[in-house]
Amino acid sequence: MIDLSALTPEEAWAVASTWGREPRMNELETLMWRSDRHPVMSSTGVMMMLLDSEPDWDRLVAAHEWGTRLVPRFRDRVLEPVVPVGPPAWVPDDQFALDYHLRRTSAPDDGSWPALLAYAESFALAPLDRDRPLWEAVLVTGLRLSGKAGMAALLLKMHHSLTDGMGGIQLFSLVQSRTRKHTPKPPVPELARGVSTDPVRLAAEEVGDQVRRLPAAAGDLLSAGRVVARHPRAAAGVAVRYVGSLRRVLTPGPAEPSPLLRGRTGTTWRFGTLECAFADLRAAGKAAGCSVNDAFVASLLGGLRHYHERHGVEVTTLPMAMPVSLRRPGDPMGGNKFAGALFAGPVGIEDPVERMAAIRGQVLSVRAEPAIAAIGLVAPVANRLPSGVGASLSQLGATVDLSASNVPGVRHQTYVAGAAVERLFAFAPLPGVAVMVGMCSHVGTCCFGFNIDGAAVADHVVLMECFAEGLDEVLAVGRVA
């Protein structure tokens, strides 16, 4: 992988120009796009950049103008083939208007943190225009946070088909400035035109591509048949192991859903945040012989244990999900390359050290499953059927109570039009789960973003208090080691 922090600004911009250059969605992105039922089965998330001051508006607009030319994906719209014979294409939006996608507003109410989160919730729940490029941003000015006036926040809403969390962090690392001072940006080439925007032609091109791939596919099938004929017992063993792995991957084990987290509708989102020093969370994981991710998940499960105890409900395990990155060295930047893993979260283990150890064993086991990327086999079939089929497939994730994602963030200080980015919170979409949590590290701080189904959790303030308790008990492990 490229060490983005070691690049000069000029080198970073050159790399950024290669971000998101695939002409069509991959099958996973197509599945998320066609199965989207906002907000109930949404694939829209929000990134919140907390800024130490109000950025210069003209510089901010100019930076977005330059950035969307450097990375044309943010000027592209989705073109569906006239029949679903293949994935959609990305084509230039000839009607692109930056002032539609980038706006500004004054801080709501008293400019406090709760008021900002409430505004972010409403911003996230407003659906994206599916006929335009799949992002919107709004600058919120006049915030007063922790007694400091004049702060601001930049909210960026994107559809998941644009990129996953890792791809988003790559982009931020490459295009954000490393100084408050104005940095002259190099000119970028004129945007390419002449791309076909005819859905009939797109379908015909896809059929033609599939026909051209048939000889290679037939050759692969014939080679596989020869292997099976020569080694039937070994082939049968591989098939049996894969089927067993598939069953484990697609079901979260013996965990029963929590009786406290039922009744979710996905129509009401409640945001929350926590934070801690990255060094402290790493120390806690190290003290238990585990990773930062193990400590992160252990804190969440500890919080859910406290929440159930407050309600007098005893639980030992809860079904949860975690994305596993499938990115490899040399993969193009941007896009989506991950698989979802399901397992039974050991919420009932009181000792945070034992809980971290149990999580580590489960995560390592799940990562080693042969069928971890099984969605790649199912998605192409679902994508060529009515979109409701894909939506039903996506609802597999709705069987879990908690989904947790950890994305390594930016290690060096970054700036947006003269304002320093102090925190970066990710509020991931809520596709049927009760609680979605994304952690992003930013310049030594772990930023936890919570998206909670308000129909399933009426007392989300109490739940956030419990999550804070779970984080505290995990961090205490590192302090006494």
CA distance 381 to 179: 48
Determine contact, residues 38/432, Cβ cutoff 8 Å: no
Catalytic hit among 38, 160, 308, 460: 160
Q: Where are the beta strands (DSSP E) in 160-280?
A: 269-277
DSSP at 177: B
Cα dihedral sign for 390, 396, 401, 406? negative
Q: DSSP letter string over 414-479?
A: -EETTEEEEEEEEE---SS-SEEEEEEEETTEEEEEEEEETTT-TTHHHHHHHHHHHHHHHHHHHH
Please say if 160 is a catalytic residue: yes
Tokens of 464: 């956030």
List CB contacts of 29: < 8 A, sequence separation 6 or more. Answer: 87, 160, 161, 335, 336
Minimal CA–CA distance to 103: which of 123, 117, 118, 121?
A: 123
Helix, strand counts (H, E) of the chain: 14, 14
Report the half-sphere exposure of 96 (CA within 13 A, side-chain side): 22
CA 163 to chain centroid, in Å, comes to 8
Nearest-angstrom CA–CA distance, 317 and 332: 38
User: Secondary structure of 87-134 in the HEC alphabet?
Assistant: CCEEEECCCCCHHHHEEEEECCCCCCHHHHHHHHHHHHHCCCCCCCCC
User: What is the residue type of 347?
Assistant: V
The one-character DSSP state at 258 is P
Strand bridging mode 402-407 / 435-442 = parallel
Q: Which two tokens stand for residue 247?
A: 């069953």
Q: Which residues carry out catalysis?
A: 160
